[in-house]
Each structure stands twice: as C-alpha cells, then as structure tokens.
C-alpha cells in the first residue's frame, strides 16, 4: 500500500523530535515522543499569542507537571502535523485544508482556551517542521503521494 510507505516512517519520526524511532513497543515510545514534543512546545509557549493578542506567559512549574494539553490530544495534533508536512511538501494548501479547520475545531468543539490554542499551534508547527525535514531528504513529491495526501489532507476526512 502506497500510504504505508510514507506515513509509517513519518509517524516514527515523532521519537526524538526528528530522529527515527528504532522500535515501537505497544505505543509507549510514541507517547514518550509526543510528550517530548509537547514539552518542547510548552517551553516555547511565550512565543504564542494569548488573550488580548498578547504573548503567552512562560510555562509555569505546575504546567510542566500537568501540561494544558493531554498526551492523547497532543497525539491528535501531531498526527495532523504529519499531513500538513506532506501537504506542504507537495505544494498543497495545508493551512486552509488542515491547520485552520483543526484550530477551529479546537476552538469551537473542544472549547480550548487561548493558551491551549497557542500550545496546539506551536506543537503543530514544531512537529510539522521536524517531519518536513524527512520529506525533503526523501526527494520530490511524487504524483502518487500527491494524490494520496490530497485525499487525506482535509481535516475531518
């Protein structure tokens, strides 16, 4: 299956924020990898925009223990970042099709706070850039890959 040839190795990239995971045992390494990406994003939350269009406050000690985003929620954000990276690599409108609808979903359906939204955006962007590096190393987007990502890029599809 064509999809498995490019998605599975990219999901493995979640370990070490860009380093390929040696093995996956029962999903635990993925959780650890996503937690690492979440903590890196939380460490940079002050670069996000919070209430009133102001920069977010740096992460508190309490947030570092209990982040404002759960690991399962972070995993869903990172999985969408895989598609955004693929869409960007193939020259597709990943922002309109994936990122903006995902943010709207978090805002409207999940009732995420401004701080959570900032963290989600930072996490998505960081994961997307790490994953995109792998696409660049693999070469140009193929027609088959473009067709596959076009069918999967839209948030909710």
CB within 8 A of 44, min separation 6: which ones? 122, 126
Claim: this prediction has a pTM higher than 0.95: no
Sequence ranges of the domains in the chain: 2-152
DSSP state of 26: T
CB within 8 A of 8, min separation 6: which ones? none
**What is the CB neighbour count within 10 angstroms for residue 150?**
15
145 pLDDT band (50/70/90 cuts)?
very high
Q: Of 27-31, 39-43, 76-80, where does mean pLDDT reach its minimum?
A: 27-31
As a whole number, mean pLDDT of residues 29-58 equals 93
Q: How far is residue 122's CA from residue 119's CA, in Å, rounded to a whole number?
A: 5
* Res 20 pLDDT > 70: no
Specify which residues 49 forms β-bridges with: 55
Closest C-alpha to 17, from 44, 37, 2:
37
74 pLDDT band (50/70/90 cuts)?
very high
Q: In the prediction, which pLDDT does 148 show?
A: 93
Give the CA dihedral 135, 138, 144, 149, nearest 10 degrees: -10
């Amino acid at each position: 299956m064509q999809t498995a040839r490019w998605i599975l190795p990219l999901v493995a990239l979640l370990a070490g924020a860009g380093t390929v995971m040696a093995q996956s045992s029962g999903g635990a390494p993925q959780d650890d990898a996503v937690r690492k990406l979440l903590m890196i994003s939380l460490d940079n939350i002050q670069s996000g925009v919070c209430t009133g269009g102001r920069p977010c406050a740096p992460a508190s000690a309490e947030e570092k223990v209990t982040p404002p985003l759960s690991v399962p929620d972070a995993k869903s954000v990172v999985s969408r970042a895989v598609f955004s990276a693929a869409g960007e690599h193939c020259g597709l409108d990943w922002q309109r099709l994936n990122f903006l609808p995902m943010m709207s979903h978090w805002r409207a359906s999940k009732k995420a706070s401004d701080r959570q939204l900032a963290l989600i955006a930072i996490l998505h962007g960081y994961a997307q850039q790490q994953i995109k590096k792998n696409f660049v190393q693999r070469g140009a987007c193929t027609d088959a890959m473009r067709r596959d990502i076009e069918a999967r890029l839209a948030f909710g599809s």
